[in-house]
Structure 1
Amino acid sequence: MSASGDGHGEWITGWLEREVGGKVVRIERQARWRPAWWVDVERDGEILPLYVRGERVDSPSAFPLRHEMRFQSVLQEHGIPVPAVYGWSEEPRAYVMARVEGRDSFEGVPDDERRRAMEDYIDILVRLHALDVAPFVDAGIVRAGPGEDPGAVGLRHFEDSAYRKLKKRPDPFQEFVLGWLSRHRPDSRGRESAIVWDAGQLLHSDGRITALLDLEFGHVGDPMQDLGGMWVRSPFVALGDLAPLMRRYEERSGTAVDLQAVHYHYILWALSNQLEFHSVLADPVPGTDYMLNLHWCIETNLMALEGIATVVGVDLVEVDEPEPVGSAYGPAHRHLTRSLERQDLGAGAQRYHNRMSVRLARHLQRIDEIGAAVVAADLDDTAALIGRRPRSWADGGRELEDFVLADDGRHDAELVALFHRRLHRARMLNGPAGSWITQHRNVAQPSL
């Protein structure tokens, strides 16, 4: 049996052998940012493959992990293809599910096979959205309160639990988008169903979906949220042309796609990374994949902003990259980066965590090269908007947030252009010029 390498192997083994039965013959920490383990249990002469999904260590979700387990269990009971749930562990806080065969990406998959798989995914969403919400409510799944729009309840939970409660520093961009979303919220027109929200996370095989994955944001909301979520997911997992899938949804569900609502929920869901990781980017904790979180935030913040620009009617222009300059600290940054790059990174989860340090060192080296120019340009932009130049980066963030909070939409066009420049400059700081972590994907807006 391979060790999990994190001190939880004994607890997981004891829980599984007591609650599931059999003997644990393999336990391995998954190479990713959140605690999770692959486990094989030998029972009655056969291997039972399981997956243990742990609680986040660095950032809160919109809903607790137990809520996710209950949501997944109700889906399982109603014939939606999800991994079967085996139960809850208190130490580590995690829940245990079946390990399902299938691929989680479409890399190298023929277009026809991907199309068939995504059509199957849409058909599953249609079935899911048609389920009676009563069993979900009875299981304690979050639902809009009396008089609350179903499309707003998820954002309320996310904003309150992951952002307002833990806010560490000014976040003018996030306040701008939250204000814009509040002023432009669409009417769900009575639509309400169980939704996964973070749509497009799946396993597939031979053109069929074998399971829906990562259901931590599932609740009772507006089904258009799932369609908006797919548009956000598509640049990261190549889901194919989504417009025909939207039309298939209409045909199979008998419900017209509310494109205005889909576009709104595309913007909202694109903001979810900033909501989730604001606190841990301001004050990282051990185990945080800082650069992955930062990359996700910048990329999806740009997606949200581009969505707003489409509504506001702002033409976004290319942002110039500052010329790198030498500094007295450049040799130390280069030496640290090269030293980390040349070390034996190991394998599996250990390699993943060592790579986190390499990416962080490259980020700090890039800050040494162009960071001062980025801060100066951001302060110049703020000065042009508010009429005075803040004294420092910290003052600039606070004064720009104060301006946003008092503005109430009067300068939306100017703020869209300003934040577009700021986000692209932040993107340029992620790593060496041209590296994957500095790339921005061109994303098609929701359409039919």
Structure 2
Amino acid sequence: MEGTAEARIVAWIEAHLGRVIRIERQPRWRPAWFVDVDHDGALLPLYVRGDREGMEGSVPVSLEAGILERLEAAGVPVPHVYGMIDEASAVVMDRLPGRANLATADSDAARGAIMDHYMDVLAVIHARDTAEFTPLGFPVPADAEALALVNFERFERRYRPTKRRPEPLLEFGIQWLHRNVPRHRYDPRFILGDPAQFMFEGDRLTGLLDVELAHIGDIAHDLAGLRLRTIPEPLGDIGRALRRYEAASGQPLDRVAIEFHTAQFSLATPMSLVGELHAPRAVPETLQYLEWFHQYALTGIEAIAAIIGVDLPPVTLPEPAPGRHAGIADALPDTIGDLTAGDADAAYRRDATARTARFAQRAAIFGPGIEAANLDDIAAMTGVRHPDWQSGDAALEAFVLAAGPDRDAALVALFHARTMRQMLLLEPVLNRTSRIEHLIPLAELLD
């Protein structure tokens, strides 16, 4: 282990906190470790969280540590930070008790109580003076437009240099969001940026997790984020949670702003993943990135459709067209899945690779029909039939960049159909939900 990140972590902890009894890499898409320490004869459970790997412009864990320290000082339940390990680009913090996924709550009543507690905590965070956080480098947006787009424009700046091919849906979303900012709102607050990540035990929070996307922005961003977080990790009754926040904070729910921020929050995710998908690395998470890309492109388009009043008809996959060697591809996922894995991390990599092989098998069968349907849609929109998806996407992006608001409804319908085809292709290999998730309309949540 000498010379590795784990060796540096062990050395730092033993120099500052006590003897390391156990260190275990968490099997996930970013470097993190569970560490048990003998601290003056008592067990001290720690969590060591490293910087994201290979994702340009990611927030360093040193900034996240600063946020946690300020929230702890304000009485917000968060893990205590013991320090930074500069040599490993990692922060050492308490390992919170409990578990993280509300789908595993003991009952619906417990889930509701936990979310009540969370919304009360969120109201407390939003009430903090932004001056507490500006020393960390967070700017206070100057006006309503800057406030609405502060998070989105950060992702847009990261997206531009990583883009290697046309992304017509994202270019449409960027234009639409800039044209449709809720200019009636200007109330800068410190917000979490990626809300509803926490540990819980029984019917109470034990602490917040993952505050790396926190910034000074509009509280509607965090409220919109609940609608998106419940996709991978069901949070229960989101309408109840929003009403709880309204009561706890005294802030009326602005539905227009929440819908706008649902769109911008959604579309920030695929923008952040373009680099990983345009130039994939040899990592097991690529299929997960593809899933996130299309799932949140879908919710972004659904939010825009809700704002402008576009009905989105059902979409189906084209007929399958198996190739000559389809049988070999059919056998590959199970072949990979049967491989022996020596530890949890190896099992994670094996299983992710097997899922990727299953997706590749489906893409070989359905891909040509999907691209033909997409080219049909582009021809209907632009009047020109293109020979392949590359030239079609380039033409569609050029069309989007030249189009005015009068084309918004037609483009929303087109992008919804394109995205749904990709989601239907992915559906059998979706990681957490095993089904395509759609936005629940705000009226249905709140009325």
Which residue of 2 is the match for residue 116 of structure 1? 113
Give 2:176's aligned residue.
Answer: 180
Partners of 2:300 and 2:278 in 1: CA distance? 21
- Alignment check: 8 A CA contact 2:20 2:36 kept: yes
Comparing 136-145 with 103-112, which one deviates more in the overlay? Answer: 136-145
Query: What is aligned with 1:8?
Result: 5
Instruction: Choose which of 244, 248, 273 in structure 1 pairs with 2:269.
Output: 273
CA distance in 2, matches of 1:345, 1:424: 35
Name the structure 1 match of 2:141. 144
CA shift for structure 1 position 318: 1.3
Pair 1:128-2:125 in alignment: yes
Say whether 1:322 aligns with 2:318.
Answer: yes
Q: Secondary structure at the match of 1:152?
A: helix
- SS of structure 1 residue aligned to 2:38: strand
**More helix by percentage:** 2
1:163-192 deviation per Cα after TM superposition (whole angstroms, max 9, x unaligned): 013222111111111111111111363311
**Structure 1: gaps (5+ residues):** none
Determine the structure 2 residue equivalent to 1:359: 355
Deviation at 1:281, TM superposition (A): 0.8
Q: State the 1:329 CA deviation.
A: 2.7
Work out which of the residue numbers 236, 239, 261 in structure 2 matches 1:240.
Answer: 236
- Rounded to whole Å, the distance in 1 between the matches of 2:20 and 2:225 is 37
The two structures have a TM-score, normalised by structure 1, of 0.93
* 1:404 is aligned to 2:408: no
Deviations 1:179-226 (A, max 9, x none): 111111113633111100211111111211111111110011111111
Alignment map for 1:80-119 (pairs within 5 Å): 80-108=76-104, 109-119=106-116
Report if aligned partners of 2:362, 2:425 keep a CA contact under 8 Å in 1: yes
CA contact (8 A) 1:57 1:287 kept: no
Aligned length: 443
Give, in whole Å, the separation in 1 of the partners of 2:429 and 2:123: 43
Instruction: Provide the rounded CA distance (Å) in 2 between the counterparts of 1:84 and 1:65.
Output: 14
Aligned residue identity for 1:287: V
Flag the 1:142–1:13 CA change in 2: closer, same or farther, 3 A. farther
Q: Structure 1: how far apart are the matches of 2:430 and 2:78? A: 39
Residue 219 (structure 2) pairs with residue 219 (structure 1): no
Match of residue 70 from structure 2:
74
The one-letter amino acid paired with 2:45 is P
The one-letter code sitting in structure 2 at the alignment partner of 1:75 is L
SS at match of 1:151: helix
Question: Residue 52 of structure 1 is aligned with which of 48, 55, 71?
Answer: 48
Q: Is the 8 A contact 2:52 2:58 kept in 1?
A: no
Q: How far did residue 145 of structure 1 move?
A: 4.6
Aligned pairs (5 A) from 1:263-302:
263-287=259-283, 289-302=285-298
Q: Match for 1:149: what amino acid?
A: A
1:278-336 per-position Cα deviation (integer Å, ceiling 9, x unaligned): 11011112335011111122112111111111122221111122222221231331232
User: What's the RMSD between the two structures over aligned residues?
Assistant: 2.1
Residue 29 (structure 1) aligned to one of 25, 38, 41: 25
1:37–1:53 Cα contact (<8 Å) kept: yes
Aligned partners of 1:435, 1:50: CA distance in 2, in Å?
A: 27
C-alpha separation in 1, matches of 2:148 and 2:209? 22
Match of 1:196 in 2: 192
Distance in 1 separating the partners of 2:108 and 2:156: 38
Contact 2:355 / 2:429 at 8 angstroms: preserved in 1?
no
2 CA distance for matches of 1:107 and 1:252?
24
